[in-house]
Amino acid sequence: MDTTLQDPLVGQVLDGRYRVDARIAVGGMATVYRAMDTRLDRILALKVMHPSLAADASFVERFIREAKSVARLAHPNVVQVFDQGAEGAYVYLAMEYIAGCTLRDVLRERGALQPRAALDILEPVLAALGAAHRAGFVHRDMKPENVLIGDDGRVKVADFGLVRAVDSVTNTTGTVLGTVSYLAPEQIDAGVADPRVDVYACGILLYEMLTGEKPHDGDSPAIVLYKHLHDDVPPPSSAVAGMAYELDELVATATARNPEARPYDAVALLARTREARGRLDDAQLDAVPPQALGSEHDPHDNTNDRTSVIPRAPALPRPLPLDGDEDPVRHTSRLQSPPPLPPRRRTALPRGPMAIVVAVLLALGLGAGVWYINSGQFTKVPPLLTKTEQEARDRLADAGLDVGGVEEAYSDTVERGKVIATDPKAGARIRGNDSVSLTVSKGPRTVRVPDLDGYPLDKARSLLEDEGLRPGMTTEEFSETVAAGSVIGTEPGKGTKVRADSAVALTVSRGRPVDVPDVAGDDVADARAELEEAGLKVKIAEERVNSEHDAGEVARQSPAPGRQAAEGDTVTLTLSKGPEMVEVPDVVGDSVGDARERLEGAGFRVKEDRGLLGLFGDTVKGQSVDGGDTAPKGSTITLEIR
């Protein structure tokens, strides 16, 4: 049944411009329609707020304010906002229409994606978010529903800035569950929303694309929220055996529960994503997800729009098939099918009691030896990234491996006390009972911004570098108390704990401010004395210019009079070579309008002298400088009008 027929907006024209043709989607905040802009004759998407929200004046004000801000965000991977308006109870946005589907549609239909496809979607999403983050926006509601995939393959992010506060989504409706699945711990715990909450949500998106399932699921939003707060996102390889370690690492980095351990914005995560892709070979990028190989189970349970969990057992060594038996591996995973085995030669065995002895020896000795050599002697290093040291030790023990040693190192991406590297790496083939060395995070290396007040700029920069920090942007301000060239303050302020290698901005004194006196028209000696008395230095420009001032006097100065300069700054004086002499046009007998036009065109100012007899006259009877004579350009010519 076409529900759009029951929608009162379908068929209407909003604001005398937008004809509503069909309903596309309904969300918790608004309904989206396909519409026609009748002025520009183009198809667009019209997002209309639900009337219950449109009745809230403060919400509408925020909606419009953020829409105007987002409209300025121009990026090829961002759904553009064209217009906003209101008519009666309808408050709407006119947006770019994308013919295609959402990432949610793709995940429902296909489940887990190949790593290459997942990264091909993630990278433009991060590019869009990165542009927003650098422009001062935080999306705050990243989820598959807001990732649009056009029929031409373009990926675009929708709903920038037009999202709900945390307390408005922690209810128990089924639609909300899809939203809480992507909330960062700090959004839940404190309502904090900076670029790192989008980074966290993108880590969840990547996990879901790689595995076909959400990392945290539950029967109620409260359970999901609890898991975000208290449980780490598991590595994708725990759900999909054989997943590349680099993808585990990327997900763990983006979804660290401590926001300080995540990349600081989407630009930083995009760089890490491209770096991870560069370390993967074609076989790893094009690995086929298990459900694409004809699994008996439907990987998607669309109840409440959630993805069901697909248990996938890790690859285990299996006994070799006996002659005439079907390969048992073939029934469990076609991905793990072993290469064809050469036929074994049949050997005539002795008969009688000796035959029993030989058979037992073969079974207990030779048979066990074959299994040991081919499979039991080796295992793989389990994924340990982001696990605590004790969790890593337990996993290694379960795999029959020892801990070879534990080192600590600083990490900007993994919280303190958790594993950031192993040697050998996860997935590496290793002999049973061998050892694996762990590197555990000490957290990000932090230092305090030193007190640089009063230090000369060069010394302050050196002190920052000694502390492991970088000198950032330098700005200048006037100061009555700090000498010119010395530091007034820093941003962040002194004593603030920051990550090592962070940039620290410096504010440097220009010295005491001085009001520049006006010396135009003064002779050089008087001008110099006045400027030096104010604490300024004087420089005479080589060129001279024509001006209204006499030759040798100051024609102009830089900085201009009335401006502020620092004590000790230099004022450049340009001297006059006298006024430029210009021939005066003869305007006697002309009308006043024509005379004024000719004189002003020649560079003169004009004054009228009408007297009592010329109040209503319009003819020039005389001029203060005769026509044909010269006068200084810019001087005034008086006209006698009768």
Averaged pLDDT in 10-residue chunks for the chain of 642 residues:
65 90 84 92 90 74 72 85 84 90 92 95 95 84 92 88 37 44 86 87 96 88 87 92 92 92 91 91 86 43 33 32 32 33 40 42 38 55 88 91 91 80 88 90 86 95 90 84 92 85 85 91 94 93 89 91 87 92 94 94 91 79 94 91 86
What's phi and psi for 456, nearest 5 deg? -60, 150
Partners of residue 470 on adjacent β-strands: 503
Q: How many helices and strands in the chain, by DSSP H and E? A: 17, 29
Select 1-97's CATH number: 3.40.50.300, 1.10.10.10, 3.30.200.20, 2.40.30.30.
3.30.200.20
Q: Are 513-576 and 581-641 the same fold in CATH? A: yes
Q: In this predicted structure, what is the pLDDT of residue 292? A: 46
The predicted pLDDT at position 412 comes to 67
pLDDT at 363: 40
CATH says 385-441 is which class?
Answer: alpha beta
Predicted TM-score of the model (pTM) = 0.48
Instruction: Report the distance separating Cα 430 and Cα 379, nearest Å.
Output: 5
Q: Which residues are catalytic?
A: 141
Q: Give me the amino acid identity at 300.
A: H
| Contact present, 166 and 176 (Cβ < 8 Å) | no
What's the pLDDT score for residue 196?
93
Domain map of the chain by residue range?
Answer: 1-97, 101-291, 385-441, 446-509, 513-576, 581-641
CATH assignment of 446-509?
A: 3.30.10.20
The CA angle 263-74-275, to the nearest 5 degrees, is 30
Which pLDDT score, from 0 to 100, does residue 66 have?
Answer: 67
Nearest to 262 by CA among 418, 129, 414, 134: 414
pLDDT of residue 614: 65
Kindly indicate whether the domain formed by 101-291 is annotated with CATH number 3.30.420.10.
no
Q: Which of 609, 603, 510 is nearest to 563 (CA)?
A: 510
CATH architecture of 581-641: 2-Layer Sandwich (3.30)
pLDDT of residue 502: 77
Q: Which residues contact 615 (CB under 8 A, 6 or more apart)?
A: none
pLDDT confidence of residue 161: 52
Query: Candidates 3.40.1010.10, 3.90.1150.10, 3.30.10.20, 3.40.50.12780; correct CATH number of 513-576?
Result: 3.30.10.20
Closest CA to 182 of 194, 197, 193: 197
